[in-house]
Structure 1
Amino acid sequence: MPSLLRLRAAALTATAVLLSAVLAGCGDDAEDQDLTQQELSWKDCPTPSDAQGGGAAPSPLPDGGAWQCATMKAPLDWDAPQGDTISLELIRARTTGDAGERIGSLIFNFGGPGLSGVTTLPGFGDAFETLRTRYDLVSFDPRGVGRSNPVLCENDQQLDAYFQQDATPDDGAERTELLESTTEFNDACEQNSKKILPHVRTTDAARDLDLMRQVLGDGKLHYFGFSYGTELGGVYAHLFPKRVGRAVFDAVVDPTQSSEQGSLGQAKGFQLALDNFAEDCVSKTEECPIGDTAQDVKDRIATLLRDLDRKPITGVFPRELTQTAATNGIVQALYSQDLWEYLTEGLQQAYDGDGSTLMLLSDSMNGRSENGEYDNSSAAHTAISCADAKPRYDTAYVQRKLPEFRAASALFGDYLAWGMIGCTDWAVAGAADHPDVSAPGSAPILVVGNTGDPATPYEGARAMVNALGKGVGVELTYRGQGHGAYDSKNKCVQGAVNGYLLDGKVPRTGTVCT
């Protein structure tokens, strides 16, 4: 199973109603190649591709205007920029303000790694309309994602089996089965996507961002990154500190951690979110339907998962709800407080033998549509994560670490510990133990941490501020729940972010929003 570093804003909404040196060393623009001079041909956006998740073309903008899409060429290998090229898909909404008020383009990355920005940006509806008064809103499918030379691994039927497997093995036979399934998935990625796999590192995507900045006609990169998008933004700031314009990082990845430390942090983060969910349920004036006390809520969930390990229940026909699918569904719901009511409903149903709601939540996490087709987010997530992270963990190592993970979370510890084997025998060596985001000389970057964030725990924001370097990171704390802060609609958070992006007003570092 891949790790859980992702932000599925559009998917959450859907569920609620049913992530070298050529430019690093010299920092020069790629002006010796024609790619910086390319002109984008903006047209009405097509219906999403299968790798983007399918479905309908984006709905009109709040003012009735149309989203526009274009394709940008970038080098396949940034170490050989005159060689083969790849196509990167972009989407934009033109600014609603006067030309004299326009700042430039504001480029979004929504995390994963592996999420399609082309399909996710329209899913936010009018959330960014205030920012649109002075910016063209732009997002993109990073290399290996969606319509941008997507990484492809297993087919839909194989993925159904892959996501149904027992991801928390209890004995030698189950461990062997999990490792074999992981190896089969990784082999399929190499077989089907061998050419792109060495070129999907975050450093590659950061160089794509700088090319995008030039092609869009901006002297500085104005950027809004969520979740893994904060790591991408930090890497960009490291490579091109003098080209950072106004940038905001929300739901912040800890750039100092190894993949193991990140997984352990997520175990603690999702346990905290579960604790908060349980407390919220029993604190309501009406009786909590899934437990009498917060501990009772958690005990009943643990019992359900143990029972599902022995005997799955009916899920979404013809699939059954397994222990792994149920855990995945619970995790998905803990990403957003807006989904807590659906988690309550799903647990009620599961206790009565109906696993359909938890299965739908799990499907949303895995990028599976109602018609049984998967986007390529899981494949891209694995490819980017494994190309970035140097460590490779085997089953023996995970077994030694299980006590530490279980101490962090009795419910999610095994699940996240075993997820560390996802890069075992990956075809491409990992780049580093953790990303370098030091950015001396960069403009201020607003770093927003949420105290209740399960996937990118709050401590990551302070670590990012420190790693960016003195005078660069400006820390803003939101005391809330869920993955990220801006989309919470908290007026304090949105006022600080909008004030910086629109007017250049840097908040006082250490500001706290409640």
Structure 2
Amino acid sequence: MSTSRLLRTSAAFLAASALLISGCSSERSSPDADASSGRTTEAGAPRPADSSLQPLPTAIPAKLRPYYDQKLNWHACGVAGFECATMKAPLDYARPSAATDLKLAVARKKATGPGSRLGSLMVNPGGPGGSAIDYLQQYAPQPAPVRARYDMVAMDPRGVARSEPIECLSNKEMDRYTQTDPTPDSPAEVDKLTTAYRNFAKGCESRSGKVLSHVSTIEAARDMDVLRAVLGDKKVTYVGASYGTFLGATYAGLFPTRAGRMVLDGAMNPDLDARTINIDQTAGFNTAFTAFAADCIKKQGCPLGDKSTEDAGRQLSALFKKLDAHPAETGEERKLTESLATTGVIAAMYDQHAWPMLRDYLAQAKAGNGRGLLTLSDSYYERDPNGSYANQMYANPAVNCLDLAPAFTSPDKVRAALPSFRKASPVFGDNFAWAALNCAYWPVKSAGKAHRIEAKGASPIVVVGTTRDPATPYAWAKALAGQLATGALLTYEGDGHTAYGRGSDCIDAAINTYLLDGTTPSKNKRCK
């Protein structure tokens, strides 16, 4: 059951795929929303009416100075050449207290040379909930020209992986949760779905109450500024993918004069209301499926037929319906349900290199063997073969439901929206619509609101969009580049989620040049 806005780079998909969006708001945000969990400014004043994210004061408040002045104790860890440390950050930036400080995990790989060191380059793979440290250890070996000149740095955001991780369910409970019917056909099935959402939320509250109200994107962006100072950098240099673009853009909005060279790849648009965000992504995955189906039809023996992409969609829907009634055997206790099959298919939309695998797994599923699609689904949920789940699927809704108000507040609201979701995607529409209900039952009231991010005064920021990106539609990249006062749009004409480091020499050269000497791509540059 895919229930959360979960956006990660397709490079991360190769190790553990991710997808899906839900639960956002049409309301607008305040500049200091994080200072007191998004309710007032640090001084207690009401939010201003401006719909753009406003910068924080450039001077470091005295009560925060101990965090900015801390020294990190680096030690060798993990993969050879990496160092790790723990950074302290206030649980609540409005009321910092050593008694409630968070311990955030940080890792780096120092510049290798040749060439003079340019500073630190922070990376984030998205999610929310993706481990930046895990991503760093995969990303740091490339690209060579960039790692030669920068210390590659990652911090697991608050609530994620090694940084005070959010926990919600036991492994067995999570197994049951992921198998909940995502497209209820009766009042009883609706009750089962909403009960699953309620139990998930209650589990998060009981296991992670301390941090649950303090894992917003704005707070994570403020942690980035503390890390910048601790590393000794005047400005943040950053590569963020997928949700990481929202985190990076938020940093630039709060601290524009400290935003250096920033690459936002697979960009989100922070200024959309909930309905538009969810409809856009539903349509995005439909576009990706249409591209997959067209490719499949060209190949001999496509398991979805050889007639048309529309017919392929009908055949896939028929398979989901069959699995809803009769789950397929997988060789283990868990069977392939409609929910797990849908998750597996959507996961493969993240990267066209997964399409041959998906063709094979669909053929197997139609023949009654659900093992392949279950494997794809497990990779999405970061479920190990031993049945253990990583924390990403818990951190993800914790961040999303705090950042923005729910997309829907009741099953009736979902039912009313079903026609528009089905129009966006006949195959996935119902699934995405019901998935957007999860934040309605969250135990912590949302602290933030949608907003424009202009970041006036920031250095040029490169925004990268892929024309057939399923998770972050290309229109979002265009919108963010237009919002940012110094935004420069770089377009990749192709499939998959994100573009940097995915095989386009044109994209890679443009971004590497920008990171190394500050030269932005030519206006409206396009790569194929």
TM-score, reference length from structure 1: 0.92
The residue that corresponds to 2:259 in the other structure is 244
Per-residue CA deviation, residues 466-511 of structure 1 (Å, 9 max, x unaligned), is 2223xx1101110011010103220110011001001111112211
The residue that corresponds to 2:396 in the other structure is 381
CA 1:303 to 1:321, structure 2 compared with 1: closer, same or farther past 3 Å?
A: same
Superposed displacement of residue 462, structure 1 = 1.0
The residue that corresponds to 1:162 in the other structure is 177
Superposed displacement of residue 323, structure 1 = 0.5
Superposed displacement of residue 230, structure 1 = 0.6
8 Å contact from structure 1 (residues 312, 322) kept in 2 = yes
SS in 1 for 2:264: strand
Task: State the AA in 1 paired with 2:390.
Answer: D
Deviates more, 1:198-207 or 1:24-33: 24-33
The residue that corresponds to 2:292 in the other structure is 277
8 Å contact from structure 2 (residues 109, 140) kept in 1 = no
Deviates more, 1:25-34 or 1:140-149: 25-34
The residue that corresponds to 1:265 in the other structure is 280
Q: Which runs of structure 2 are paired with 1:105-120 in the superposition (5 Å)? A: 105-120=120-135
Q: Distance in 2 between matches of 1:11 and 1:481?
A: 16
Gaps of 5+ in 1: 46-56, 61-65
Q: Distance in 2 between matches of 1:213 and 1:424?
A: 35
CA 1:412 to 1:143, structure 2 compared with 1: closer, same or farther past 3 Å?
A: same
Per-residue CA deviation, residues 144-170 of structure 1 (Å, 9 max, x unaligned), is 000100111011000000000101111
Q: Which runs of structure 2 are paired with 1:31-430 in the superposition (5 Å)? A: 32=63, 33-45=65-77, 57-58=78-79, 60=80, 66-83=81-98, 84-98=100-114, 101-124=116-139, 126-284=141-299, 286-295=300-309, 296-315=311-330, 317-391=332-406, 392-430=408-446
Q: Distance in 2 between matches of 1:236 and 1:14?
A: 28
The residue that corresponds to 2:472 in the other structure is 456
Per-residue CA deviation, residues 9-55 of structure 1 (Å, 9 max, x unaligned), is 56532369xx934495423235652221222122222xxxxxxxxxx
CA 1:352 to 1:145, structure 2 compared with 1: closer, same or farther past 3 Å?
A: same
SS in 1 for 2:126: coil
Per-residue CA deviation, residues 263-298 of structure 1 (Å, 9 max, x unaligned), is 2111100100000001112234x5535421343432
The residue that corresponds to 1:442 in the other structure is 458
Identity of aligned residues (%): 41
Superposed displacement of residue 380, structure 1 = 0.2
8 Å contact from structure 2 (residues 110, 150) kept in 1 = yes
8 Å contact from structure 1 (residues 226, 252) kept in 2 = yes
Per-residue CA deviation, residues 244-273 of structure 1 (Å, 9 max, x unaligned), is 110000001111112332221111001000
RMSD of the TM alignment (CA)?
1.8
TM-score, reference length from structure 2: 0.89
CA 1:365 to 1:196, structure 2 compared with 1: closer, same or farther past 3 Å?
A: same
Per-residue CA deviation, residues 172-191 of structure 1 (Å, 9 max, x unaligned), is 10001100110000011111
Number of aligned residues: 491
Q: Distance in 1 between matches of 2:451 and 2:118?
A: 30
Q: Distance in 2 between matches of 1:459 and 1:189?
A: 34
8 Å contact from structure 1 (residues 6, 455) kept in 2 = yes
8 Å contact from structure 2 (residues 197, 441) kept in 1 = no
The residue that corresponds to 1:63 in the other structure is none
Superposed displacement of residue 127, structure 1 = 3.1
Per-residue CA deviation, residues 188-244 of structure 1 (Å, 9 max, x unaligned), is 111111110111001100100000100011000001111111111111111100001
Q: Distance in 1 between matches of 2:76 and 2:228?
A: 21
Superposed displacement of residue 8, structure 1 = 5.5
Q: Distance in 1 between matches of 2:488 and 2:390?
A: 36
CA 1:10 to 1:478, structure 2 compared with 1: closer, same or farther past 3 Å?
A: closer
CA 1:364 to 1:316, structure 2 compared with 1: closer, same or farther past 3 Å?
A: farther
SS in 2 for 1:480: strand
Q: Distance in 2 between matches of 1:125 and 1:29?
A: 31
8 Å contact from structure 1 (residues 246, 445) kept in 2 = yes
8 Å contact from structure 2 (residues 5, 397) kept in 1 = no
CA 1:361 to 1:43, structure 2 compared with 1: closer, same or farther past 3 Å?
A: same
State the structure with bigger RCO (CA 8 A, min sep 6), 1 or 2. 2
Task: State the AA in 1 paired with 2:292.
Answer: F
Per-residue CA deviation, residues 316-373 of structure 1 (Å, 9 max, x unaligned), is 5110000010000001000011111111111011011111110011111111111110
CA 1:348 to 1:231, structure 2 compared with 1: closer, same or farther past 3 Å?
A: same
Q: Distance in 1 between matches of 2:5 and 2:469?
A: 12
The residue that corresponds to 2:29 in the other structure is none
Task: State the AA in 2 paired with 1:225.
Answer: G
The residue that corresponds to 1:27 in the other structure is 58
2:518 to 499, 504, 512: 504
SS in 2 for 1:198: coil
Gaps of 5+ in 2: 22-34, 36-40, 43-53
The residue that corresponds to 1:54 in the other structure is none
The residue that corresponds to 1:50 in the other structure is none
The residue that corresponds to 1:7 in the other structure is 8
8 Å contact from structure 2 (residues 314, 427) kept in 1 = no
The residue that corresponds to 1:495 in the other structure is 509
Deviates more, 1:201-210 or 1:483-492: 483-492
8 Å contact from structure 2 (residues 8, 241) kept in 1 = yes
Q: Distance in 1 between matches of 2:343 and 2:107?
A: 30
SS in 2 for 1:181: helix
CA 1:435 to 1:363, structure 2 compared with 1: closer, same or farther past 3 Å?
A: farther
8 Å contact from structure 1 (residues 446, 476) kept in 2 = yes
Superposed displacement of residue 432, structure 1 = 3.1
Q: Distance in 2 between matches of 1:289 and 1:264?
A: 28
SS in 2 for 1:307: helix
The residue that corresponds to 1:53 in the other structure is none
